[in-house]
Amino acid sequence: MSKTVNRVILVGNIGSDPDVRATASGTDVAHVSLATNRHFRRNGEEQRRTDWHRITFWGRHAETVAKYVKKGASLYVEGHLEYGSFEREGVAIPTVDVVAEDFVMLDRRPEADRTESVELEVALV
């Protein structure tokens, strides 16, 4: 049997507030866009490119993201890639999500939030 790996590690900034919903069975799911930057040289000139990643959080992770993660926040995410597609005007559009298995909020919480006694669950799954 051959060993395979589907693992992603990203560190970036959130592009918009989380989109949080509940499935028909009541499980919370949150989606965010995460920007990462690359620097490289092309034709001797320094170039910069921003890549956008769609991150999906499930269950308790989704609840935590909904409560504490806002646009502009820095986030460390570990997870796996999940491929899919949807149809638009008869054309299949491929999609790729990073399904978060672990994450760490890299920004300090605002003073107002520090008065709450809340344990943020970010343990490895």
Look up the CATH number of the domain holding residue 18: 2.40.50.140
109-115 mean pLDDT: 51
Q: pLDDT tens, 81-109?
A: 999 999 999 999 999 999 999 999 998 76
Considering its fold, how many domains does the chain have in total? 1
Domain that holds residue 54: 8-114
User: Rounded mean pLDDT of 72-79?
Assistant: 97
Q: Look at 56 and 121; give whichever has higher pLDDT.
A: 56
| Residue 3 in domain | no
Residue 19 in any domain: the answer is yes
Q: pLDDT by residue (tens digit) across 30-55?
A: 999 999 999 999 999 999 999 999 99
Please indicate, yes or no, if residue 110 is contained in any of the structural domains. Answer: yes
Rg (CA), the chain: 17
Residue pair 45/57 in contact by the 8 Å Cβ criterion: no
pTM over 0.85: no
Does residue 14 fall inside a structural domain? Answer: yes
